[in-house]
Amino acid sequence: MVPTNIKNFDTLVVGGGIAGLQAALDLGDQGYKVAIVEKDASIGGKMIRLSKVFPTLDCASCITTPKMSAASHHENITLFTYCDLTSLNHEGQGIKALITQKPRYVDPIKCIGCRQCEYICPVHVSDAEQGDFSARKAISIPFSTAIPQLPILDVEHCMLCGQCEKTCPTHAIDYFQKPEEFIIQAKTAVITTGFDLLPVKNNFQYGNGHIPNVIDSMQMERILAPHGPYNRVLRPSDGMEPDSIAYVQCAGSRDKSMGVPYCSRVCCMYAIKQAMLLSGSLPLADIIIYYMDIRAFGKGYEQFYQNAKAMGIEFVKAKVARIDKGENGSAIVRYENQDGSGIATADHDLVVLSMGMIPGWDPRSICPVSKDSDQFITSIKPKISPVLTNMAGLFVAGVAAGPKDIVDTITESGSAAMEAAKFMSNSHMEN
Ligand SMILES: Cc1cc2nc3c(=O)[nH]c(=O)nc-3n(C[C@H](O)[C@H](O)[C@H](O)COP(=O)(O)OP(=O)(O)OC[C@H]3O[C@@H](n4cnc5c(N)ncnc54)[C@H](O)[C@@H]3O)c2cc1C
């Protein structure tokens, strides 16, 4: 059945990461009515999950939270979180999107975000927001600065004890909530669906995710974050302070066999950043980065790399062939030195894999926007206007268009907002 609930906006922004927030704010400030549709329970994307950001080492949430808050309080921006995009097509002069609001089992109008349901819930579940290193409740607000401050009831783990319903002071728990479909009609759309990391389980050379204390870089961001799972740097399997930490660069990227032949661009820089933060937390630890080449491409990045070397972080030019389980929770890294000295092995207490970035959204069967051979959304004018797609009125920004850092993401979002505004003012003049 075609939904009858139709909402009209000037621009639909798909994805509420830093790219989507920036594009929405730029358009909202110009007076355009903007809808942000986000699949997760909160806006903020990957950036709100980071510890600090290179090259300035500013706190990531100190930059992201004000943007999240500005978007949620903006008179021209409406947030639709925890929503699936079912289709996105041209219709008439504009864009039509079919959206499904997933059930939270909590009434968003009645809920006051007091967390009483979360405190009383007796079920503990592994918390993916904290890299699966700590637990959350089966009904919980995803993280402390989430926007909106609404809990989600995890039906897979809920044992229907009814405690949350009895405790809720506003009777907001609704076990019978159903998915709701609605349509968004807009003059333009901006795709900012970002990225995911290639899962470690896809990488047989590095243990398919089965070796304890071999983690991915996003998990290390959580360990280093101020509100992280341990509040200090500990290794996950036994809570020991690691004395030797290794980074494996290009773990997945630049590797045809992994389906990621391209460079993910930010891994060198975030590994250097994390190594610097680790050396601050664990001054006596040995920190080694196994790398093929260091790509310090942005303003101030080369200096950042040189600073890391001066701090004593060791850079070993080598290709890591495999990682095996060692004794007492260690991981054995087997690598080929690129200086011709052959194959070597080293034992580390903790190993971080810099996994490749893959697109966060696959438009296939949902939207006729075209993708490049790396599966990111293609620009039809990559040199002079990288935000233009093959669909008129549909623009792309951030990592949805290809791997990039925050600086380039923000710049591209401004450009997408500018192109969308130009498109709308041109169509206005034609009519
Ligand atoms: C470990 C790590 C550390 C990093 N550190 C730094 C750093 O220090 N400095 C720096 O400059 N860069 C860093 N980066 C890169 C930085 O994270 C990205 O540049 C930035 O997050 C890109 O923002 P984005 O909005 O394009 O994508 P994302 O942050 O991925 O946001 C995309 C949003 O779209 C949503 N979405 C996806 N599909 C859909 C859909 N179908 N419908 C609705 N919503 C959808 C997602 O849920 C997400 O909220 C790091 C990256 C990693 C992996």
- Bridge-based pairing of strands 77-80 and 34-37 is parallel
DSSP classification of residue 198? P
What is the pLDDT, as a whole number, of residue 429? 66
Of all protein residues, the one whose alpha carbon is nearest to atom 31 of ligand 1 is 17
Within this chain, do residues 380 and 282 fall inside the same structural domain, yes or no? no
**Residue 375 and residue 281 share a domain:** no
The rounded distance, in Å, linking the Cα atoms of 166 and 153 is 15
Closest CA to 20 of 131, 112, 107, 147: 147
138's CB contacts (< 8 A; 6+ apart) are 121, 123, 124, 125, 153, 154, 157, 158, 159
Half-sphere exposure of 74 (CA within 13 A, CB side): 27
Q: Is the CB of 359 under 6 A from ligand 1?
A: no
Judge contact between 78 and 36, C-beta under 8 A. Answer: yes
What's the CA-to-centroid distance between 50 and ligand 1, angstroms? 10
Give the total number of structural domains in the chain. Answer: 2
Ligand 1 atom closest to the CA of 273, numbered from 1: 8
Please check whether residue 418 lies inside any domain of the structure: yes
Query: Where would I find the H helices in 41-91?
Result: 60-73
Query: For the domain that residue 372 is a member of, what is the CATH number?
Result: 3.50.50.60
Rounded to whole angstroms, the Cα distance separating 140 from 137 reads 6
The residue among 292, 323, 356 that closes a domain is 356
- How far away, in angstroms, is 204 Cα from ligand 1 center? 25
Ligand 1 centroid – CA 167 distance (Å)? 36
CA distance 37 to 81: 6
Last residue of some domain: 299, 331, 356?
Answer: 356
pLDDT of residue 291: 97
Q: Please tell me whether residues 204 and 189 are part of one structural domain.
A: no
Give the number of the atom of ligand 1 that is nearest the alpha carbon of residue 397.
26
Q: Are 339 and 374 in a shared domain? A: no
Decide if 422 is inside a domain: yes
- Residues 332 and 365 reside in one and the same domain: no
**Ligand 1 centroid distance, CA of 196 (Å):** 8
User: How far apart (Å, rounded) are the C-alpha atoms in residues 37 and 52?
Assistant: 26
Per-residue confidence in pLDDT tens, the chain, 431 aa: 678 899 999 999 999 999 999 999 999 999 999 999 999 999 999 999 999 999 999 999 999 999 999 999 999 999 999 999 999 999 988 999 999 999 999 999 999 999 999 999 999 999 999 999 999 999 999 999 999 999 999 999 999 999 999 999 999 999 999 999 999 999 999 999 999 999 888 778 898 889 999 999 999 999 999 989 999 999 999 999 999 999 999 998 888 887 899 999 999 999 999 999 999 999 999 999 999 999 999 999 999 999 999 999 999 999 999 999 999 999 999 999 998 899 999 999 999 999 999 999 999 989 999 999 999 999 999 999 999 999 999 999 999 999 999 999 999 999 999 999 999 998 866 66
Ligand 1 atom closest to Cα of residue 37: 43
Same domain, 347 and 405: no
Residues 398 and 412 in one domain: yes
Of 96, 280, 86, residue with least CA distance to 188: 96
Q: Residue 27 belongs to what domain range?
A: 6-102+179-194+360-430
Whether 358 lines ligand 1, by a CB cut-off of 6 Å, is no
Instruction: Give yes or no: residues 186 and 214 share one domain.
Output: no
User: Does 404 share its domain with 335?
Assistant: no
Say yes or no: 334 and 234 in one domain: yes
Residue 82 covered by a domain:
yes
Q: Within 10 Å of residue 159's Cβ, how many Cβ atoms?
A: 10
Q: Would the pTM of this model clear 0.75, i.e. be above it?
A: yes
Q: Are residues 367 and 402 in the same domain?
A: yes
At 92 the pLDDT is 87
Q: Which of 328, 356, 384 is the last residue of a domain?
A: 356
**For residue 332, is it within any domain?**
yes
346 and 386: one domain?
Answer: no
**Rounded distance from Cα 74 to ligand 1 centre (Å):** 22
